[in-house]
Chains A and B, each alone.
Chain A
Amino acid sequence: MSKLKLIIQREYLTRVRKKSFIIGTLLAPVGLLVYFLVIVGLTKYESGGEINVVVQDEAGVVGIIPDEKGVRYIPSGGRTLEQLKEAVVEGQYDGVLRIPQLASLKQNDLTIFYYSDKKMAPEKREFIERRVAKKVREFKIDSLHLDRASLEYLDTDVSIDPEKITEKGEDESKYTIGVGLVIGGIMAFIMFFMVMMYGQMVMRSVMEEKTNRIVEVMMSSVRPFQLMLGKIIGAGAVGLTQVVAWIVLSGAVMFVVPLLVDVDPQAMQPPVTAGQPQIDPEMAQGEAFRVFSELGKQNWTLLVGSFVIFFLGGYFIYSSMFAAIGSAMGDDYGEGQALVLPVTIPIILAFYIVAFVGIRNPDSGLMVFASMFPLFSPIVMPFRMAFSPPMWQIILSLVLTIGAAFFFVWMAGRIYRVGILLYGKKVSFKEIGKWLFY
């Protein structure tokens, strides 16, 4: 077996067999499961029990309100406010809801009163307000002798659907942007996460070898470059293993959750506001279909293929820098922090560019530049990919990233070779720069 292969194998196996890795890999999806169960539980949870509200409708505006969402509306039955209050004190009702007369039909602001010594949950309060507002609206419509059906015609949902003019253009639907944002966002996040986590893992591992002095023994058997590359590839393979395991396990979790609890898809949505129409199940199906058709429109071969290349490129660029930094660092991690910062800043910056600029305008000048610049491109370009940038930009970015990956691995190798055998010296960037030319 070749030496590089042996190194990769050891780096991979020792990590994958670690308890922390196994626990982390298994627990993350379990954590996700717990998260979903909690969310489902929370959305199903209704604050407080049922309350009985007696309604004193002075204006005769609201009429009878059906019981709903833990609120029972009881008509006052001709009793006075004082009598009703007494009934509340005696414990017959939770409170009195007094709806004063409307000054005129033009009144847009109506204050209604709730008499009780108990506090009302904000959720219930909001609900009652909405319910009464709806009743008032209906009262006004009837009083003005308007045709309800005609009024429904007034509400119109407007959305822009971009259409191509020439064949070169792309046919987008209003879902293109949304779907692109989600796919791009997920890819950018995975990149960011992997590079940060596994890049730093490489760094710590290099430091550890230096600190426990195995490295001098290793150096008499293998080239420094082989050891560094083996470590980078081994740790990267561990990262991929973890991501694949997470995807598979998360898929399983997603499949299992609906079986465990009965999820009401609407319960996951934020509460519907008064003016908005309820989601029509048929329409929802249509939306889902359009989202899927949009997903189908993506060039997945190109998307996944280039993502893998960008992933490898980005991983090699950053983990080799981390390896170089780790080799230059002594036993003291705290002291080395100053060296780590310049490596983490570009990753974070790239992520910020995506988060703050990319989401608003994926094709802006800054985004185009960032998707070419090799320190940013592995995170920025996969995000842009979901918005079908021009092919020449994709190819140029790929070429630059791959070129940069080779360059950084080479450069890190030169630094590593010197740094790894140097002890007891505080290293500056100037010093590291010199090592390149030893």
Chain B
Amino acid sequence: MENLKEIEIFAAKIRLETTKMIGTRGFGHISGSLSVADALAVLYGGVMNVRPNEPNWAERDKLVMSKGHAGPAVYSALALRGFFSMDWLATLNQPETRLPSHCDMKLTPGVDMTTGSLGQGASAAVGLALAQKLDELSSRTYLFVGDGECNEGQVWEAIMFAAQHKLNNLVTFVDYNKKQLDGTTAEVIDMGDIAVKFANFGWHTQNINGQSVAEIVQALQNLSSNMPNAIILNTTKGAGVSAISDVTLNHHMVVDGDLLATAIAECEAKLAELGVK
């Protein structure tokens, strides 16, 4: 349990840094970053075999944030793990930054794939996982897709290919926060039971509370060894910061002034509750 608490602290730090970073610019894709903070904390907090001082180490586990607008959460996790200086976080979206709004493998140490045009990261993750197989590596590729992103047909092309080729080294997290830019997923394109869809496409599928690091850790211990794995993260868009999650249309929002102060205070309160000064 001690380890779980460390992961919870890591997740709380990712939320704080993400909020501060987006607050520095005054606006951004904050909610979809907060919803994946717990899963990123589990992965970068110990599950993934990576070398912060050797980000291109060939045998590493890889991560593709196909919902590339969650870049700020990835950058927070990478900086906290020591891939680059924490000072970089304040440069988000500034001219000539190494941290653009959407993930860029050419700019940011530790980012394994450039993403931003939704759906494309799914195929790229399949390519990375396939290459690991061809090279007979035991490493894995972790893919994050959004629930709204699953509107894109390309996601399902990638899902079918992974099942056909039994890419058991590919783990896909679906950030099922039930919102997309224009409204709830139910209002826009209802994904129905997304876990059943993955299962029907030949994936070993687990449906869990995506805001529970304990459940995420557990799910990663229950992976199939002969099929690709999907973990449906039931999440809240803006999770952990009520000032954000309470906003109905919160995909991209202004984060400044009182709202920013309240959000940062909530993140700090969480850390204090976890015993971090």
A and B: bona fide binding partners? no
A interface residue numbers (CB < 8 A to B): none
